[in-house]
Amino acid sequence: MKNLYLDCISGIAGDMTLAALIDLGADLGYILEHLRKLPIDPFELEVEPVEKRGIAAKKLLIEFPAQERQQPSPTYLFKMASHDDHQHRKAEDILQMISDSLLPERVKQRSMAIFQVIAEAEGKIHGVDPKEVHFHEVGAMDSILDTIGFCLALENLEVDEIYASPVPTGQGKMKMAHGLYPIPAPATLELLKGIPLADLQVQGELTTPTGAGILKALVKDFGPIGAVKIERIGYGAGHKDFAHPNVLRAVLIQKERDREREKIIVLETQVDDMTGEALGYVMERLFEAGALDVYYTPVYMKKNRPGTLMTVLVQPDEAGRCEEVLLIQTSTLGVRRSEWTRTILDRRIVSVETPYGKIRVKQAIRGGQVLHQAPEFEDVAQLARQCELPFQEIYQEALNLASQRAVK
Q: How far apart are CA 307 and CA 291, in angstroms?
A: 22
For the chain, 408 residues long, give each residue's pLDDT as a single digit of tens.
Answer: 789 999 999 999 999 999 999 999 999 999 999 999 999 888 899 999 999 999 999 999 998 876 554 444 333 344 333 333 434 578 888 999 999 999 999 999 999 999 999 999 988 888 888 877 876 543 578 889 999 999 999 999 999 999 999 999 999 988 766 678 889 988 899 999 999 999 898 999 999 999 999 999 999 989 988 878 899 999 999 999 999 999 999 999 986 544 457 889 999 999 999 999 999 999 999 999 999 999 999 999 988 899 999 999 999 988 999 999 999 999 999 999 999 988 888 888 888 999 999 999 999 988 778 899 999 999 999 999 999 999 999 999 999 998 887 655
Q: How many Cα atoms sit within 13 Å of 125 on the Cβ side? A: 22
Kindly state the DSSP code that residue 196 receives in the 8-state scheme.
P
Instruction: Report the SS3 class of residue 84.
Output: coil
Q: Spell out the CATH class of 261-343.
A: alpha beta
Q: Are 18 and 197 within 8 A, CB to CB?
A: no
Segment 230-280, tens digit of pLDDT: 999 999 999 999 999 999 999 999 865 444 578 899 999 999 999 999 999
Determine the angle formed by the axes of helices 105-126 and 137-156, rounding to 10 degrees. Answer: 140
Q: Domain 346-407 classified CATH 3.10.20?
A: yes
Query: Which of 146, 137, 144 minimizes the C-alpha distance to 61?
Result: 146
Cβ atoms < 10 Å from Cβ of 83: 6
Q: In what order do the strands lie in the sheet with 88-90?
A: 78-79, 134-136, 88-90
Give, in order, the Cα–Cα distances in Å from 338 to each of 154, 294, 314, 326, 358.
34, 15, 11, 15, 42
Question: What is the DSSP track for 313-326?
Answer: EE-GGGHHHHHHHH
Q: In what order do the strands lie in the sheet with 346-354?
A: 346-354, 357-366, 369-375
- Residue 341's DSSP bridge partners are 263
The whole-model pTM stands at 0.62
- The residue extents of the domains of the chain are 2-255, 261-343, 346-407
**CB of 238 within 8 A of CB of 60?**
no
